[in-house]
A and B are shown apart, each in its own frame.
Chain A
């Protein structure tokens, strides 16, 4: 039976990676934290033994998948979740190298204003309307900047 020290060691060793994965998939730190805590709570309550890092990360992925699957299509696209859920099951994603490359492409290839809009949208998670208001532009302009950014990324990622 796993004791407190075992759980604490597992927690301290794996928490950061588990949280990072959940945030990448759910785009929401609070929701991600809930999932990670629930996984450790589950290990504790079910007295699961021989828990590995791979087991924990798979648990995070499955919990995120289950949550996203419970949402309607409208709810999923509102949060920019993958519509094809096989992409979430793919253990290769998110790939650290690709994540770094995306950041580098944004930094080096996009005009300043477009770069700023991309960061406001995806890192600060502002709505299009909020971005438009903060930059005194129309929402349609926000769409156009993001569309251009996505085209640049797509051309350079393939």
Chain B
């Protein structure tokens, strides 16, 4: 039987072996929380870079942003506009005609599926940014990721919101037996590749949640 310290170490490298609730419980225990905190501090303190080559970094940055950095393109555009007004006007009208034609073509080809990615400004470019998040974050972005098959993270969302989304996806109805359960707030990652039974099993791991599925109705006690 693993003690709680062994469990927190294991959960760090193998989070898939633990439910969100089990991890929350480990982090809420005073001793394991204290251990995790010092592990985090150690990771922060000992993560270090080799001396960066500033010349190389600047060269890389300036190559990527050449136009924005030189400003030459902006100045030459301005002087071009001043000296070639008539030619510019003709070019603008021609562009409008092309754009109008493009819009009428693309309207007939528009895809009904809506997908969007919440890409925080300044966030690193890693594959896990494909994961969709539900709810308002501090910069007030909201997205509706339900149409795609990528995992959905519910951050402190009411159970009612979560179950409604899940029921819509799997084509079932919902019945709440208490208002209190509707208002329960969870941190839950919904893997849409799972069956409904599997998702319900995950939700039932949360202590206060009791969900049953019968006759295509999700019932929450």
Q: How large is the interface on B (under 10, 10 to 19, 20 to 34, 35 or more residues)?
A: 35 or more
Given A35-B122, A44-B65, A71-B128 in contact, is the A24-B44 Cβ separation under 8 Å?
Answer: yes
Q: Which of B7-15, B82-90, B99-107 contacts A (4 or more CB under 8 A)?
A: B7-15
> Using Cβ atoms and an 8 Å threshold, which residues of chain A touch B128?
71, 75
A92 to chain B, nearest CB (A): 12
Q: Does chain A have a CB within 8 A of B193?
A: no
Within the complex, which residue of B9, B18, B27, B69 is in contact with A83, where a contact is CB–CB below 8 Å? Answer: B27
Given A15-B54, A118-B42 in contact, is the A128-B9 Cβ separation under 8 Å?
Answer: yes
Q: Does chain B have a CB within 8 A of A4?
A: yes
Residues B45 and A72 in contact, CB atoms below 8 Å apart: no
Residues B11 and A122 in contact, CB atoms below 8 Å apart: no
Q: Which of B31-39, B108-116, B165-173, B203-211 contacts A (4 or more CB under 8 A)?
A: B31-39
Residues A66 and B49 in contact, CB atoms below 8 Å apart: no
> Using Cβ atoms and an 8 Å threshold, which residues of chain B touch A24?
44-45, 47-48
> Using Cβ atoms and an 8 Å threshold, which residues of chain A touch B125?
34
Within the complex, which residue of A42, A73, A102, A118 is in contact with B121, where a contact is CB–CB below 8 Å? Answer: A42
Secondary structure type dominating chain B contacts: helix
Q: Does chain B have a CB within 8 A of A150?
A: yes
A146 to chain B, nearest CB (A): 7
> Using Cβ atoms and an 8 Å threshold, which residues of chain B touch A31?
124, 126
Residues B9 and A70 in contact, CB atoms below 8 Å apart: no
Q: Mark A128-158, 1 if CB is under 8 A from B, else 0.
A: 1100000000011011001101100110010
Q: How far is the CA of A54 from the CA of B93 in the complex (A)?
A: 47
Q: Does chain A have a CB within 8 A of B91?
A: no
- Measured CB to CB, the nearest residue on chain B to A68 is B123
Residues A11 and B44 in contact, CB atoms below 8 Å apart: no
Given A16-B52, A35-B123 in contact, is the A103-B5 Cβ separation under 8 Å?
Answer: no
Q: How far is the CA of A154 from the CA of B139 in the complex (A)?
A: 36
Residues A42 and B153 in contact, CB atoms below 8 Å apart: no
Given A73-B187, A77-B11 in contact, is the A34-B121 Cβ separation under 8 Å?
Answer: no
Q: How far is the CA of A149 from the CA of B38 in the complex (A)?
A: 10
Q: Mark A20-36, 1 if CB is under 8 A from B, else 0.
A: 10011111111111110
Q: How far is the CA of A87 from the CA of B6 in the complex (A)?
A: 25
Q: Does chain A have a CB within 8 A of B41?
A: yes
Q: Which of B56-64, B174-182, B194-202 contacts A (4 or more CB under 8 A)?
A: B56-64
> Using Cβ atoms and an 8 Å threshold, which residues of chain A touch B5?
143, 147
9 pairs of A and B residues whose beta carbons are closest in the complex? A63-B122, A31-B124, A122-B46, A74-B15, A34-B124, A80-B43, A143-B9, A27-B47, A67-B123
Give chain A's interface residues, CB within 8 Å of chain B.
3-4, 7-8, 11-12, 15-16, 19-20, 23-35, 37-42, 44-45, 59, 62-63, 66-67, 69-75, 77-78, 80-83, 87, 93-94, 98-99, 102-103, 106, 118-119, 122-123, 125, 127-129, 139-140, 142-143, 146-147, 149-150, 153-154, 157
User: What are 18 pairs between A and B in contact, CB < 8 Å?
Assistant: A11-B61, A15-B52, A19-B52, A20-B48, A26-B47, A29-B49, A63-B123, A67-B122, A67-B124, A73-B27, A74-B20, A74-B189, A75-B15, A77-B27, A77-B36, A83-B36, A122-B43, A128-B12
